[in-house]
């Protein structure tokens, strides 16, 4: 036997005919340098600049305040003013439009800046830290994938997270999350425990995953992205937290807003001469709010405060874990929000704010007054009046989706006891959400990726704030930034901010600019465009250049019904006559599959069953407390309830005989968002037509359940009595046959 050895491509040793003749080799294992810090990003949703205690709030946030006491607060940190874009920018270090996320990921209007999926060539913070040796954990809200139904290249575990537990879309119930995903599997949850609350659940899993990492690899640093959906609507809170805030907001939004500014001045967060921006013209003075509405308005804000208080308690739980592990001092914790407080609830708030997604006007305030005790519970999807949004954004004007200060300026706290020498200080330098990733990479020493998913990696556009964290005297790492959301625009440069706000749904006004000088006008309350036309002109030109460079154009100012229901051709509703068969035994069918089949159109739903005389339960349910329909059997009869986004209708019950039956619903769309329906019980006859309005469109979170009603119910009293109410007979299948669209339906012309 000859004693020769050979190499092998990619193998660093030598291979002979026997082990004795060979030289073993193992590829090097990537690992973070010893002593590398953990990274925790706690990301809030729709939380305004002034909502936590250390930014002037009356809400009790001692654990978040403690982060600031161990670290730094920034008073001029900005963001893209809506969820998906802010998250895309945070996770890539790039402007949102440049990574195809200039709008919500649920929608794809067919332009490069808005397709909704972060390009694979743009590496995420999770991908970068994982490649450098960090364990990576994603928790809570994702909202950076257009496809939430099936695993794909844009789900969290495909974009760098070893573990993920949360939901993929923009919002969900706190008591009944619609579709929790655990890694790449939809969690098989039919019914939640009575004490379930999402904020607690997210933290439970964050703590569990961190403990698992420590049990497996005691020295490996971890990156935890803890993206709470709080304090985004629906406003829902636990009773124990609500009890703490009863009565605290009776003085109303004008008094609360003034008190927050006073505290901000006392904290040294704002200059002593800072003025409140004028009250929004759509917001009445509190003294002018009708007496019968004040208690309801207060209840909204009590719920909001309770939700944030609960987050703070959970931040405390996470801090306790880090302290228990002995790793609090060497953990970089970032706490911030994706955008500011919202105006989506309108002047009087709404118990069904999702009506706007479905192109419906708010319900009359009188209707909400009758149900005001539902605010804060899981029974409705409530959102506060916009006056409380102004309180959240104190002292700035405007709101989420707008590029004024209230939309784009949010709190930003970074804590790292081992690396910050002037804990408790305030930084006044300009910073933007795109700066977070380069900052964390510099602080951890993790190198940016040069290749991402087989392509040359796109470089980050943000700049590291590490020098600013080290020294209060360090200049801001960059001096300009553009902003755009829903055709609202802004451009900041060297202390000047030009802002253009649009009237929603109207023709875009390209000349509607105001100009503000922030060194002398912290709250952006004074328009100085007339005094400095040359400055304004320069900023407008700079915005235009940045917009072309970052694929911001074309601007889109369409009304909500058009923007929220924009779909690419392959996702648009099928033509009349389409039949889809669904079988029981699987998880909830995603709403994106079901809604096109029934959206403002006629349809027929048939359920083939083997029914026994004593069988009862839900045959099918579509939707939830926000809107939908449920067909069930009880006391020997077929029964049906329709929830038209807070407008409830029932059809007359139909006797149901035992045996093989095809039962179901016929629905006729009449136009003007009106409709009617009738039941059939498999005996060759139909029930009487009954009004079922308004016709359903996008806006609810749950899809189709067959044989039970999972999680959030369409019919609250039925759920209180029976829970998921699994049907006792046999269901063979369910078929939806789509009919004609209503003549004025948005999808009628394709």
Catalytically active residues are 83, 143
Identify the residue whose tokens are 């006792």: 728
Q: Is 536 helix (H, G, I), strand (E, B) or coil?
A: helix
Residue in 431, 182, 234 with CA at minimum distance from that of residue 352 = 234
List phi, psi (to 5°) of 220.
-80, 125
Residue in 207, 208, 209, 202 with CA at minimum distance from that of residue 180 = 202
Residue in 188, 212, 73, 195 with CA at minimum distance from that of residue 139 = 212
Measured CA to CA, the distance from residue 430 to residue 483 in angstroms comes to 14
**Distance separating the N- and C-terminal Cα atoms of the chain:** 75
Residue in 714, 747, 750 with CA at minimum distance from that of residue 599 = 747
Radius of gyration of the chain (CA): 27
Residue in 642, 634, 640, 647 with CA at minimum distance from that of residue 722 = 634
CA angle, 455 as apex, 449 and 461 as ends, to 5°? 50
For the CA atoms of 506, 510, 512, 516, the dihedral, rounded to the nearest 10 degrees, stands at 130
Task: Report the number of secondary-structure helices (H) and strands (E) in the chain.
Answer: 16, 31
- Residue 609 carries which DSSP code? E
Question: What's the distance, CA 632 to chain centroid?
Answer: 32
Measured CA to CA, the distance from residue 639 to residue 654 in angstroms comes to 7
Measured CA to CA, the distance from residue 102 to residue 551 in angstroms comes to 9
Work out the angle between the directed axes of helices 198-216 and 291-325 (0-180°, nearest 10): 10
Q: State both tokens at 310.
A: 């609960």
């Amino acid at each position: 036997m000859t004693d020769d050895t050979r190499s092998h491509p990619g193998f660093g040793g030598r291979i002979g005919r026997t082990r004795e003749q060979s030289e073993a080799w193992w590829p090097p294992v990537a690992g973070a340098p010893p002593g590398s810090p953990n990274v925790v990003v706690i990301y809030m949703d729709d939380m305004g600049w002034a909502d936590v205690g250390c930014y002037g709030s009356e809400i009790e946030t001692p654990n978040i305040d403690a982060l600031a006491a161990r670290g730094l607060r920034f008073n001029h940190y900005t963001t893209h003013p809506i969820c998906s874009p802010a998250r895309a920018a945070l996770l890539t270090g790039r402007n949102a439009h440049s990574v195809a996320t200039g709008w919500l990921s649920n929608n794809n209007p067919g332009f490069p800046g808005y397709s909704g999926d972060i390009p694979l060539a743009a590496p995420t913070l999770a991908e970068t830290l994982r490649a450098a040796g960090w364990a990576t954990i994603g928790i809570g809200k994702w909202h950076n994938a257009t496809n939430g139904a099936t695993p794909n290249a844009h789900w969290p575990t495909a974009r760098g997270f070893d573990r993920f537990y949360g939901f993929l879309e923009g919002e969900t119930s706190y008591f009944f999350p619609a579709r929790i995903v655990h890694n790449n599997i939809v969690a098989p949850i039919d019914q939640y425990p009575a004490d379930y609350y999402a904020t607690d659940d997210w933290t439970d899993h964050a703590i569990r995953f961190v403990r698992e990492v420590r049990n497996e690899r005691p020295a490996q640093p971890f990156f935890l992205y803890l993206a709470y959906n709080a304090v985004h609507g629906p406003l829902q809170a636990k009773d124990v937290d609500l009890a703490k805030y009863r009565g605290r907001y009776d003085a109303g939004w004008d008094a609360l807003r003034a008190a927050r500014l006073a505290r901000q001045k006392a904290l040294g967060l704002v200059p002593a001469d800072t003025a409140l921006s004028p009250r929004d013209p759509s917001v009445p003075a509190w003294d002018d709010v009708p007496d019968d509405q004040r208690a309801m308005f207060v209840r909204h804000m009590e719920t909001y405060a309770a939700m944030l208080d609960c987050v703070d308690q959970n931040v405390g739980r996470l801090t306790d874990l880090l302290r228990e592990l002995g790793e609090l001092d060497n953990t970089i914790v970032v706490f911030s929000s994706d955008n500011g407080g919202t105006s989506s609830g309108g002047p009087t708030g709404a118990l069904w704010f999702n009506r706007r997604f479905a192109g419906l006007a708010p319900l009359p305030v009188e209707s909400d007054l009758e149900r005001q005790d539902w605010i804060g519970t899981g029974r409705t999807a409530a959102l506060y009046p916009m006056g409380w949004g102004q309180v959240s954004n104190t002292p700035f004007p405007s709101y989420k989706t707008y590029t004024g200060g209230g939309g784009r300026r949010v709190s930003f706290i970074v804590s790292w006891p081992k690396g910050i020498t002037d804990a408790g200080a305030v930084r006044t330098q300009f910073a933007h959400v795109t700066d977070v990733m380069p900052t964390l990479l510099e602080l951890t020493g993790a190198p940016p990726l040069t290749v991402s998913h087989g392509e040359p990696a796109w470089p980050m556009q943000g700049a590291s704030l590490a020098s600013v964290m080290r020294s209060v005297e360090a200049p801001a790492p960059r001096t300009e930034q553009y902003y755009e959301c829903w055709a609202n625009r802004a451009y900041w440069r060297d202390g000047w901010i030009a802002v253009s706000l649009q009237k929603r749904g109207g023709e875009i006004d390209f000349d509607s600019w105001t100009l503000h000088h922030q060194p002398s006008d912290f709250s952006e309350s004074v328009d100085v465009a007339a005094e400095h036309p040359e400055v304004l002109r320069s900023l407008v030109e700079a915005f235009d250049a940045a917009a072309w460079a970052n694929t911001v154009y074309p601007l889109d100012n369409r009304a909500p019904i058009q923007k929220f229901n924009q779909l690419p051709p392959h996702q648009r509703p099928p033509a009349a006559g389409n039949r889809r068969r669904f079988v029981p035994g699987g998880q909830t069918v995603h709403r994106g599959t079901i809604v096109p089949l029934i959206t403002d159109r006629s349809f027929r739903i048939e359920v083939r069953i083997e029914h026994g005389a004593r069988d009862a339960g839900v045959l099918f349910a579509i939707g939830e407390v926000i809107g939908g329909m449920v067909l069930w059997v009880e006391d020997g009869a077929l029964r049906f309830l329709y929830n038209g986004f807070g407008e409830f209708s029932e059809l007359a019950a139909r006797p149901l005989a035992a045996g093989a039956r095809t039962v179901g619903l016929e629905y006729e769309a009449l136009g003007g968002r009106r409709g009617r329906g009738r039941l059939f019980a498999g005996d060759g006859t139909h029930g009487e037509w009954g009004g079922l309005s308004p016709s359903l469109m996008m806006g609810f979170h749950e899809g189709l359940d067959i044989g039970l009603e999972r999680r959030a119910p369409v019919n609250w009293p039925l759920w209180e009595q029976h829970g998921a109410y699994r049907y006792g007979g046999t269901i063979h299948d369910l078929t939806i046959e789509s009919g004609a669209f209503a003549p004025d339906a948005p999808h009628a012309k394709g």
